[in-house]
Structure 1
């Protein structure tokens, strides 16, 4: 879908004379069969916002054969630098608010040992110098299964169309140890503060503690046996 496809679909789906139905706006029963899209726009801003975001836009996306999802790109934590002062005077003359900033870091924390890969794929679509995923892995898989998982995700990251090959973007994976119900093994390194502190320290002194470096289709995988962090 491109802009020429989306615009006429939006105009067609958002006709102001359309009556609201239960399917379109299940959260606002008072509007079913009585209010038009234009009525909502004039008199009920929350309902109109939900109509646009969760019905009109979803329908356009789904009719084009894609999966629609609301607010998927809510990121746990981001770090940014404001630069609005550079445009403030010009924006004021145009009666606009001044918004200018650079995203420097995006961080996702995932408790699930299986689902951290979704966070990695999500952050590929976010443009910033550093993407960090904090998750957990069985403590007795540090030198076996975990290494296979890293090579697996490094390979599939490059199949995502948005992946910026050859760019300066960094992906940092920090794994805390978690209990393995099958082997009954765990370790004391399981507090997120300790993990973050260790990772920052490891990065700040370079990579002198690394024991193994492998290349996976042009990406360097660095595994550190002493602190649980990886840079893809």
Structure 2
């Protein structure tokens, strides 16, 4: 199974578990929700949990390269000394950007375009089209940007790029449905396609 799909399923389960256990109050507060999603001081964030569940023997790094959440693996000998110099050996496995501002996530898409790693994920929010059961406007913009920056030039065959959109407060009819309204879109080599 693709790492993007594994990450998505763990991420959605983590959101569902959090909301079931804590209620939806935090979802209504952008600052609190960002803290819970990306940098929870009381434990692992929901993104970090999903990353560790996807890459179990790896290490978390927050704000590395100014990216919200990263995960990497130490290679063979990892960190060691080479004479007086520190010699680091590691490989970036995934980079995740979360943008709470529903109208400003496209910067994160462009940013991750230029980061090379096996899995890149942008998580944001949009207006949910309940008729089509997806984020129609956001996907139209994402694919327009992908074409404009020639995204396919930056994604190799063994790499995955995924966008995950959750509902803006104005798109929620039943608070029990919040986790169900998160949708994933995976880059298929030509455009972002709904999972």
TM range (shorter): 0.5 to 0.7
Deviation at 1:171, TM superposition (A): 0.9
2:69 aligns to what?
77
Deviation at 1:191, TM superposition (A): 5.4
**Contact 2:119-2:159 within 8 A present in 1 as well:** yes
1:186 aligns to what?
172
Q: CA separation of 1:77/1:176 partners in 2, compared to 1, >3 Å: closer, same or farther?
A: same
Distance 1:220 1:108 in 2: 19
**CA RMSD, 1 decimal:** 3.6
Q: CA separation of 1:175/1:87 partners in 2, compared to 1, >3 Å: closer, same or farther?
A: closer
TM-score, normalization: structure 1? Answer: 0.45
Deviation sequence 1:107-156 (CA, Å, 0-9, x none): 01100111111001111121111111110011237364234223212212
Q: CA separation of 1:84/1:97 partners in 2, compared to 1, >3 Å: closer, same or farther?
A: farther
Distance 2:110 2:139 in 1: 18
Ranked by relative contact order (alpha carbons within 8 Å, sequence separation 6 or more), the top structure is: 2
Taking the TM superposition and a 5 Å limit, the aligned residue runs for 1:155-166 are: 155-158=147-150, 163-164=153-154, 166=156
Segments of 4+ in structure 1 off by > 4 A?
Answer: none
Q: CA separation of 1:87/1:73 partners in 2, compared to 1, >3 Å: closer, same or farther?
A: closer
Q: CA separation of 1:140/1:87 partners in 2, compared to 1, >3 Å: closer, same or farther?
A: closer
Deviation sequence 1:171-228 (CA, Å, 0-9, x none): 1100001133xxxx42434459x95xx86xxxxxxxxxx9xx997xx5143224xxxx
Higher strand share: 2
The yes-or-no answer on 1:221 pairing with 2:186 is no
Return 5+ residue gaps in structure 1 as ranges: 1-70, 200-209, 225-232
Distance 2:68 2:187 in 1: 30
2:160 aligned residue (163, 170, 173): 170
**Contact 1:135-1:175 within 8 A present in 2 as well:** yes
The yes-or-no answer on 1:133 pairing with 2:122 is yes
Distance 1:149 1:175 in 2: 13
1:119 aligns to what?
108
2:5 aligns to what?
none
**Contact 1:130-1:169 within 8 A present in 2 as well:** yes
Choose 1 or 2 for highest CA Rg: 1
**Contact 1:84-1:99 within 8 A present in 2 as well:** no
Aligned length: 128
TM-score, normalization: structure 2? Answer: 0.53
